[in-house]
Amino acid sequence: MPKNQSSDSLVFAVDLGGTHLRVALVDDNGNIIRQLKQETPKGDSADCIVNALANAAEQWTEDRERVVAVSIMVPGAVDSDKAVVLQAPNLPCLVNFGLKAALQQRLGRPVFLENDANAAVVGEMWLGAARGCRDVMSITLGTGVGGGVILDGKLWRGSHGSGGEIGHTTVDPFSGLKCKCGNTGCLELFASATAIVRMTRESLSLFPDSTLNQVELTAERVYEAGRDGDTLALEVFKRFGMYLGIGLANLINLIDPQIIVITGGAANGWDLFAGEMHRQVEERAFRTISHQVKIARAECGDNAGLLGAARLAQTALAGFS
Ligand SMILES: [Zn+2]
């Protein structure tokens, strides 16, 4: 966490996840002044979410005057210009809802909206592993696989707000596995926490001596077993690394970034999958560049998105002034 002296203006940054809602006050130097986490309100109505956000913002009364903007990140496709959620499987009540107008009315501040993976890559470029870089990609290995792209210092959202969806590029067209996006063989099906559990379950009968036959499977348990030398777990993480490496090699040949930042809960298995990941990149990406592209773990942890959301609002406001 930066230790710079706190500056005057603050952004009320929101990580609006399907399960948890995290809010923070972030200053111009990236210091998180206050933060809290609660469960995301469940319900069919977006009003519950608007109320929860407004209540969280209003409780920090002593800092209220310093707040210059509200910046929200959501796990889904957004129209950032209109601040409208276009698609969010975990927050269906927000789709096409006028979140910007509702919050602007309640809080009297400009409201910005961004996809969570896009916010995370901005956070890592501002204060994390990609500090000082201009061409950056990030891959979030969580329940699914997200991605963010920065080209020449600017977030690349694509022509239709859907840029950077690395998790839904095809890495195995013959697998027959159906992805929730409708495609088959997406990277997300092989390099996510969900994939670790599925690949383990499918191979249990081939490894009768594995301790994983005796436990309820989670990605963390498979990782722990791998660390203890379990052959099945090591095989699963090798496959994970192989598909991830294929995906990264494709990206490197397409974008030629300075750095690819790997983040998300499943990135904790780094020591078990990185070797195969690097091997695939070396084998498949252009040799002239594969050694120059840095592949690194994220440094901002869970706060990357909150920091990135704050940075995007700061930048937008500076552009208006
Ligand atoms: Zn997909």
Q: Residue 80: its pLDDT value, please?
A: 86
Distance 179 CA to ligand 1 centre (A): 5
143 pLDDT higher than 90: no
Average pLDDT over residues 243-272: 96
Distance 55 CA to ligand 1 centre (A): 36
Distance 169 CA to ligand 1 centre (A): 7
Q: Are 136 and 150 in contact (CB under 8 A)?
A: yes
Distance 242 CA to ligand 1 centre (A): 18
Average pLDDT over residues 161-178: 91
Summarize pLDDT for 32-75 with one digit per residue, the tens: 999 999 998 887 789 999 999 999 888 888 888 999 999 999 98
Tell me which residue of 219, 320, 317, 307 sits closest to 269, measured CA to CA.
219
Q: Residue 167: its pLDDT value, please?
A: 94
Distance separating alpha carbons of residues 58 and 52, to the nearest angstrom: 10
Three-class SS state of 116: helix
Q: Please list, in sequence order, all residues whose beta carbon lies within 8 angstroms of the beta carbon of residue 202, skipping any fewer than 6 positions away.
A: none
Q: Residue 228: its pLDDT value, please?
A: 97
Q: Note the Cα 260 to chain centre separation in Å.
A: 13
Q: Are 187 and 173 in contact (CB under 8 A)?
A: no
What type of residue is 2? P
Distance separating alpha carbons of residues 257 and 165, to the nearest angstrom: 16
Q: Report percent pLDDT > 70 for the chain.
A: 97
Distance 103 CA to ligand 1 centre (A): 32
1 pLDDT higher than 60: no
148 DSSP β-pair partners: 138
Distance 28 CA to ligand 1 centre (A): 36
Q: Residue 317: its pLDDT value, please?
A: 94
Which structure tokens are listed for 206?
């081939």
Q: Please list, in sequence order, all residues whose beta carbon lies within 8 angstroms of the beta carbon of residue 310, skipping any fewer than 6 positions away.
A: 11, 13, 24, 26, 30, 71
Q: Are 200 and 217 in contact (CB under 8 A)?
A: yes
Tell me which residue of 178, 168, 136, 179 sits closest to 247, measured CA to CA.
168
Name the helix (H) or strand (E) containing 151. strand 145-151
Distance 168 CA to ligand 1 centre (A): 4
130 pLDDT higher than 90: yes
Q: Which residue has the higher pLDDT, 216 or 92?
A: 216
Alpha-helical regions (H) of the chain? 46-59, 99-107, 116-127, 193-203, 219-227, 231-255, 270-284, 287-290, 304-320
310 pLDDT higher than 70: yes
**What count of other Cβ atoms lies within 10 Å of the Cβ of residue 313?**
25
Q: Are 70 and 103 in contact (CB under 8 A)?
A: yes
Residue 206, classified by CB atoms within 10 Å of its CB into exposed (0-12), middle (13-18) or buried (19+), is: exposed
Distance separating alpha carbons of residues 225 and 223, to the nearest angstrom: 5
Which structure tokens are listed for 276?
């195969």
DSSP per residue, 96-111: T--HHHHHHHHH-S-E
Distance 251 CA to ligand 1 centre (A): 16
Average pLDDT over residues 286-298: 94
Q: Are 24 and 37 in contact (CB under 8 A)?
A: no
What type of residue is 130? A
What type of residue is 125? M
Q: Residue 41: its pLDDT value, please?
A: 87
Q: Residue 224: its pLDDT value, please?
A: 97
Q: Residue 7: its pLDDT value, please?
A: 67
Distance 146 CA to ligand 1 centre (A): 10
Distance separating alpha carbons of residues 195 and 177, to the nearest angstrom: 11
Distance 62 CA to ligand 1 centre (A): 45
Round the average pLDDT of the chain to a whole number and report it.
92
Distance 181 CA to ligand 1 centre (A): 4
**What count of other Cβ atoms lies within 10 Å of the Cβ of residue 225?**
22
Q: Report percent pLDDT > 90 for the chain.
A: 74
Average pLDDT over residues 253-263: 96
DSSP per residue, 53-84: HHHHHHH-GGGGGGEEEEEEEESSEEETTTTE
